[in-house]
Amino acid sequence: MEYRYLLYSKEEGIGTVTINRPEVLNALSQAVYAELYGLFEEIEEDSEVHAVILTGSGGKAFVAGADIAAMQPLNSTEMRGFIDISRKAFDRIYSLSKPVIAAINGFALGGGTELAMCCDLRIASENAKFGQPEIGLGIIPGGGGTQRLSRLIGETRAKELVYTGDIIDANTAYTIGLINKVVHLDALMSEANALAQKMVTKSSVILSFAKKAINGGMNVDLSSGLDLEAECFALCFSTEDQKEGMSAFLEKRKPAFKGR
């Protein structure tokens, strides 16, 4: 499938997705959401890809937000359709069986913060800015900003950002736990690739179990989460990679995982 607003490459088990609308700071439109969904569907089925990096083109923005010009004239019913398309894309990224790393190179506001939160890990350049400024537009976040944000940084901090619309810098985002690491802009992609490469060396099937356990456990009570963890843990013992990993440990050698 050809993509108008996305660039995609893969190398050594790592797929790199770049949102490519630099003229509007990579703003998210319905067409971009549809392309993200389609590409991540392809990535899910591609056995050659074991980890994904998601970034934005240019050095100014990861994603500056949703496309306000496209949203402004919509009525409530039409806007619900817009949100349904965005949620489909965001859920596809969040539920991907492979790790997804956001390489945040500049503004990540509104839908940009929401998109970054769908990824498993987030590395930001020093010039990155985060926020849910929707309140200043007479709306609230509609792509997960009232839900994923509080789960990541806590209810009180999330309410402050949503209620005030304040924009925070990368170091503040790191301090409150929104991102994993802050690096120089010119080192961003190399750092993201290095992190992705660590995951490529692991078992892809076991990583998928780990992601299923963590993501699934976030939204249930502790007892149910522990049940899910136990289920995923037990499933590891149905794989070749569990046998290989433990054998390698006992034989004092590096494991040769096959993803099955």
Place 200 in a pLDDT band, splitting at 50, 70 and 90. very high
Active site residue 23: no
Residue written as token pair 């997804």: 100
Place 219 in a pLDDT band, splitting at 50, 70 and 90. confident
Place 72 in a pLDDT band, splitting at 50, 70 and 90. confident
Q: Which range has the worst mean pLDDT, 25-39, 56-70, 91-105, 118-132? A: 56-70
User: According to the model, what pLDDT value does residue 1 have?
Assistant: 72
H or E element at residue 239: none
Please name the residues in contact with 35: beta carbons below 8 A apart, sequence gap of 6 or more: 3, 4, 5, 6
pLDDT in tens, 76-131: 898 888 889 999 999 999 999 999 999 999 999 999 999 999 999 999 999 999 99
CA 203 to chain centre: 20
| Check whether domain 204-250 has CATH 1.20.120.450, yes or no | no
**Domain boundaries of the chain, sorted by first residue:** 6-200, 204-250
User: According to the model, what pLDDT value does residue 121 have?
Assistant: 98
Cα 32 to Cα 67: distance, rounded to the nearest angstrom: 10
Catalytic residue among 12, 41, 134, 160: 134
Catalytic residue among 12, 42, 114, 160: 114
Angle between helices 30-45 and 76-94 (to 10 degrees): 20
The CATH code of the domain at 6-200 is 3.90.226.10
pLDDT in tens, 167-186: 999 999 999 999 999 999 99
pTM of the model: 0.91
Active site residue 114: yes
Amino acid at 97: S
C-alpha dihedral, 25 to 28 to 30 to 35, nearest 10°: 90
Task: Indicate if the pLDDT at residue 19 is higher than 80.
Answer: yes
